[in-house]
């Protein structure tokens, strides 16, 4: 006997979930279209990103059960991460169960500011170079987390890097507490849009004087 064509589809939907929501501009509450939205499972790479429609809406179908983070990215805006009120807050995980529909999620986008001029107009060049030498020699991956990076500004002076802090993710550290294991891994993580420090320094170091 041949099973009805619709049965495998219904079985797949029952074994997976749906995540849907919308992206809005924080200052007007207006929907934002063509926003790149990424759903990332815990401990894995992001799923294929999708883009919001004309009403700012997005929907992920056939999402495997698990816990996910959700982020929205569009040129001219600061990245929005679900549950985080600022770039320094922790995100809120979204738990997806088989057959469940997670709806009503909202990601507010804030327009990014623009600073004109040269980097060396604002930051001490030698301090930056010395700081990056230490970070790169130690392979300190804490640079991907802005909560572990400090800067200060003397009165009437330029911004300075430091004090140096938080070296527990250096020298090839991994979650198994073994150091000097991954000597050839890139200093900056991927994807860029998931870590504020990664994004900041990636673009920061690309700027030419």
Instruction: Give the 3-state secondary structure of residue 89.
Output: coil
Short-list 142, 130, 123, CA closest to 207: 123
The arithmetic mean of pLDDT across residues 51-55, rounded, is 96
Residue 91 — pLDDT band, cuts 50, 70, 90? confident
Q: Which residue has the higher pLDDT, 29 or 9?
A: 29
Phi-psi region of 34 (alpha: psi -120 to 50; beta: other; left: phi over 0): left
pLDDT of residue 3: 43
Residues forming CATH 2.60.40.10 domain(s) in the chain: 6-111
What would the CATH number be for the domain defined by 6-111? 2.60.40.10
Q: Which range, 7-21, 38-52, 70-84, 155-169, has the best average confidence (pLDDT)?
A: 70-84
pLDDT of residue 5: 47
Residue 84 preceded by cis peptide, ω within 30: no
* CA distance readout (Å), 176 to 6, 139, 145, 162, 165: 45, 17, 19, 28, 22
pLDDT of residue 114: 60
Q: Which residue has the higher pLDDT, 161 or 189?
A: 161
User: Could you read off the pLDDT of 96-147 as tens digits, one per residue?
Assistant: 999 999 999 999 998 876 655 666 678 888 888 898 888 888 888 788 777 7
Cα–Cα distance, 136 to 194 (Å, whole number):
21
């Amino acid at each position: 006997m041949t099973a009805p064509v619709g049965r495998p589809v219904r079985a797949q939907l029952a074994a997976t979930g749906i995540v849907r929501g919308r992206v809005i501009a924080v200052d007007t509450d207006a929907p934002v279209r063509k926003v790149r939205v990424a759903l990332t499972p815990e401990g894995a790479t992001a799923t294929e990103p999708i883009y919001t429609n004309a009403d700012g809406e997005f929907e992920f179908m056939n999402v495997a059960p698990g816990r996910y983070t959700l982020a929205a990215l569009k040129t001219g805006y600061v990245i929005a991460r679900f549950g985080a009120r600022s770039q320094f807050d922790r995100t809120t995980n979204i738990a997806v169960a088989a057959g469940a529909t997670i709806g009503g999620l909202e990601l507010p986008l804030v327009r990014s500011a623009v600073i004109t001029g040269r980097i060396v107009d604002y930051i001490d060049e030698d301090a930056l170079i010395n700081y990056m030498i230490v970070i790169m020699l130690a392979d300190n991956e804490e640079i991907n987390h802005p909560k572990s990076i400090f800067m200060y500004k003397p009165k009437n002076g330029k911004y300075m890097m430091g004090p140096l802090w938080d070296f527990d993710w250096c020298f090839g550290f991994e979650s198994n507490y073994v150091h000097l294991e991954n000597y050839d891994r890139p200093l900056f993580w991927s994807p860029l849009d998931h870590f504020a420090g990664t994004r900041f320094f990636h673009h920061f170091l690309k700027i030419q004087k």
